[in-house]
Structure 1
Amino acid sequence: MPNEAELFGLPQVLINFRTLGTTAIKRSARGIVAMILHNETTDTIHNYKITDITDIPDTGLTDENVDLIKKCLLGTPLRVLVYTLPNADVADAKKTQADVLKILGGIKWNWICAPTATGREQEDLGSWIKTMRNNKHKTYKAVLANRAADHEGVVNFCTGNIQVANPNYNAEAAVGTAVVGATKVVDNQEYITYTATQYTARIAGILAGLSLDRSATYFKLTEVLSVEAYEDIDSLIDQGQLLLFDEQDGDGVKIARACNSLTTFTTDKGEEFRKIKIIEGIDMVTDDIRDTFKKYYVGKVINDYDHKMLFIAAILVYFGQIAGNVLDADADNTVDIDEQSQKDYATLKGADVEKLTAMQIRQYNTGDKVMLAGSLKFVDAMENLTINFTM
């Protein structure tokens, strides 16, 4: 006889998956950014949870770092988790980026940036992201500067010489609020020049705040007045660089192509894995299924065939809800019991699988293991156009 937890829990699973499906686009536009900043004059680490500019403290953060946080908030992420490290000139400092990463490895967030990091810290952060995704199956992603990581979890932002007008500049007093980059004054307006590393804060905010019903390709950065120009931008994009460009068409500075740093493709990771939108969709589906399984199934539901099929049915409902903007509505998006894994498990347990029917293999008792397999097709946004006219 089912226990009370099963009677109460199983309907919740279906409701939860339906809710996750119907809110997928809204939720995907509210990602969390983790930001690491050098800020402290002593050997300490502080952290701040910032949802909007009113959460930025009046003291404790340098004007330069406040500027970077505000740049991130322009992308409207759900929140920014700021962790501050000692400045480079703090004598005998022991607190490092590694200490912050130990904290971040145990909490939930989506994108990370380190706009004041050294080149070595950027490299270490990229390596950590690869490890967390490949070995621990986390869905973390990073925006780094000039780091050809060749990985779907790392965006390699490479545009420098980013010129932005300082909105706080007082032309009459000829003074402006302290900012991050170098400045110059032209026609009574102060222009701030940011490096690629500094502007990873802005890019991370955009990617965290962008919903899955569109791509970041051609996303307009209205605050940017000009950026460096490229002789062959297509070749650079093909090398896995995310770049800003201005077509000089009056429409301003935009993201050229929303790609990550992946450039080596395999049968498991084809060229579609270089698209940020596709990886965001994969990560969202992974998190939704895994979180629901942990919340409603682990330790609460017996692992027999009927309960496995109920879980599968709930997942299929979820797939139906996200078809169109996340999954290809015309594709056969499926999940079922992994019969090969079931057969392998039974063989290891000493069963003569040749004498078992297909249904007996599907129903074979797998202890505490739930082994499923499926097929998904994620949908991309329109980015390339080819028209052949015949006259």
Structure 2
Amino acid sequence: MAKLGLPYLHIRFTEQGIARIGRSIRGIVALVLQEKQMKGTYDIYTASDIPEKLSEKNREQVELALMGYQKTPKKLIVVVEQSETADKPKFDVTTEAFKILETLRWDYLAVPFADEVDSEKIVTWIKTLNNNRDKRCKFVAANVNADNKKIINFTMPSVSTEKKEYKTNEYTSRIAGLIAGTPMQIACTYAPLPELKACTHYTQEEIDQKIDNGEFVLLNDGEKIKVARGVNSLVTTSQIEGESFRKIKIVDIMDAMADDIQWAAQDSYIGKYANSYDNKVLLMSAILGYMEILENDGLLAKGSSHVEINIEEQKAFLKSMSYQTIDKRTVDEMDLKEIKEADTKDKVFIKAYCKILDAIEEIELDVVI
């Protein structure tokens, strides 16, 4: 017989240590639209949030983005510009709409009525945000050969539902919503678009070539129309940006990790702890704990994560300030432990290792009978 005993209250005290790094909300789509009689910025979660005054063609774009894939996008940020030429819109990245987007958090942008000239300018703007302003965001463009991991180049000349045929740029909202509605554990490869009844037909060889060219295209398998492969426009790879950087899924996880760690550092670490070796260890533990959560979520390979002091960078910094130990030894005379624990002023040099998991996309099966 189990013993019951007296009721009790057990309180355990543990040291909290440095703040935990949390997961950010992903899957936010930004749309830029134009109207003659209204302007503003709207957060849209469901169709009921769509402003009543929005024109029918713009309402349709919002509804396309909301369709998503396995999930709907977490949120749409719809920025509406007021313009007398809204019937034939032209977009300028120096306007208030794009300035607003520079200050907000979003993952994928679509500007469904932008022509190729305007889209080229938006591509340059997106590159600037990513490269110079530490903002991680992507743009679903129409027919722009950008050769960049942050640009998805949708190139289907025509897609049709039972009621309507869409031009390439008019369907970028749908593609942005589909990608944003794809869980990070999987890829949007072969994601079906059940509303479509027809699309431009390509042979298998043509589709393979377009994928190799960094084009995001659809295929009709005879039963359904679906995404051929979840690739961005990157074609020119390097030792820094290899083949895996061509996958939308991989880049999305990299951006999520960078955002989460950056925001946690800004909110909880920078300026809030003495730069001691012990606190560096706590910070590394927090980063490792965060990466292990991603391992458990199936985004990183199990056991692949490791965080350590970046010895090479730290050693170079110490040499640049002519660092010496108390007994006047130079950096070259210090051992590894001394270099790790040396005073680096307000600088922290950390190196992390991990392996981002791709999705299953190619299967080879040998059957022996």
Q: Matches of 1:317 and 1:94 in 2, distance apart?
A: 47
**1:94 CA drift (Å):** 11
Per chain length, whose mean CA-contact separation is higher, i.e. which structure has more relative contact order (CA < 8 Å, sep 6+)?
Answer: 1
For residue 209 of structure 2, what is the aligned residue in structure 1? 235
The one-letter code matched in structure 1 to 2:47 is I
Provide the secondary structure at the position in 2 that maps to 1:302. Answer: coil
- Counterpart of 1:143? 140
Aligned to 1:294: 266
Residue 45 of structure 1 deviates from its aligned partner by 4.5
Q: How far, CA to CA, are the matches of 1:365 and 1:153 in structure 2?
A: 38
Q: What do residues 21-41 of structure 1 show as CA deviations (whole Å, max 9, x unaligned)?
A: xxx7xx44xx11110112235
State the alpha-carbon separation in 1 of the partners of residues 212 and 101 from structure 2.
Answer: 31
CA offset digits 1:20-65 (Å, max 9, x no partner) = 3xxx7xx44xx11110112235xx8522211111111111x21100
Structure-2 separation of matches of 1:102 and 1:371: 33
- Distance in 1 between the 2:237 and 2:362 partners? 20
* Partner of residue 6, structure 2: none
3-state SS of the aligned residue for 1:47? strand
The answer on whether the counterparts of 1:85 and 1:96 sit within 8 Å (CA) in structure 2 is no
Q: How does 1:1-391 map to 2 (within 5 A)?
A: 11=17, 13-14=19-20, 17=21, 20=23, 27-28=25-26, 31-40=27-36, 45-59=39-53, 61-75=54-68, 76-87=72-83, 89=85, 96-99=92-95, 100-165=97-162, 191-231=163-203, 232-248=206-222, 250=223, 252-323=224-295, 325-329=298-302, 332-351=304-323, 352-390=330-368
Contact 1:9–1:296 (CA under 8 A) maintained in structure 2: no
5+ residue gaps, structure 1 = 1-7, 166-190
Distance 1:12 1:73, change over 3 A: farther
Asked if 2 retains the 8 angstrom alpha-carbon contact of 1:85 and 1:97, the reply is no
The Cα shift of 1:11 comes to 3.9
Change over 3 Å in CA distance of 1:386–1:230 after alignment to 2: same
Q: Any idea what SS the aligned residue of 2:103 has?
A: coil
Contact 1:38 1:117 in 2 (8 A): no
Alpha-carbon distance in structure 2 between the residues aligned to 1:385 and 1:88: 53
SS at match of 1:35: strand
Residue identity opposite 1:388 in structure 2 = D
Identity of aligned residues (%): 31
Secondary structure of the 1:81 match is strand
| Structure 2: gaps of 5 or more residues | 1-13, 324-329
CA distance in 1, matches of 2:17, 2:278: 14
In 2, Cα distance between equivalents of 1:310 and 1:275: 33
Give secondary structure in 2 for the equivalent of 1:98: coil
Does the Cα contact within 8 Å between 1:262 and 1:273 map onto a contact in 2?
yes
Q: Deviations over 1:140-189 (max 9, x none)?
A: 11111111111110100111211113xxxxxxxxxxxxxxxxxxxxxxxx
Distance 1:80 1:9, change over 3 A: farther
Write out per-residue CA displacement over residues 248-297 of structure 1, whole angstroms, 9 at most, x where no aligned residue: 1x2x1101100000000000000000001101111111111111111111
Deviation per CA, 1:186-217: give whole Å up to 9, x if none. Answer: xxxxx201111111100111111211121100
Q: Which amino acid is the alignment partner of residue 272 of structure 1? A: S
State the match for 2:327 in structure 1.
Answer: none
The two structures have a TM-score, normalised by structure 2, of 0.87
Q: Return the offset for 1:120.
A: 1.8
CA–CA separation in structure 2 for the residues paired with 1:272 and 1:94: 35
CA distance in 2, matches of 1:114, 1:319: 34
Paired residue secondary structure (1:336)? strand
Supply the AA of the counterpart residue of 2:216: L
Tell me how far apart the structure 2 counterparts of residues 40 and 289 of structure 1 sit (CA, whole Å): 41
Give the drift of 1:87: 4.0
Task: Supply the distance in 2 between the matched residues of 1:371 and 1:390 (Cα, whole angstroms).
Answer: 53
Return the TM-score normalized by structure 1. 0.83
Deviations 1:53-102 (A, max 9, x none): 1111111x211000000000111111111112244637xx9994322222
Structure 2: how far apart are the matches of 1:358 and 1:379?
Answer: 33
The change in CA–CA distance for 1:230 and 1:284 in structure 2 (over 3 A counts) is same
1:158 and 1:213 map into 2 onto residues whose CA distance is 26
The 2-side partners of 1:304 and 1:216 are apart by: 44
1:136 and 1:210 map into 2 onto residues whose CA distance is 26
CA RMSD of aligned residues (A): 2.2
- Tell me, yes or no, if the aligned pair for 2:91 and 2:118 is still in contact at 8 Å: no
Partners in 1 of 2:191 and 2:274 — Cα distance?
Answer: 48
Give the partner amino acid of 2:365.
Answer: I
Q: Which amino acid aligns with 1:120?
A: V
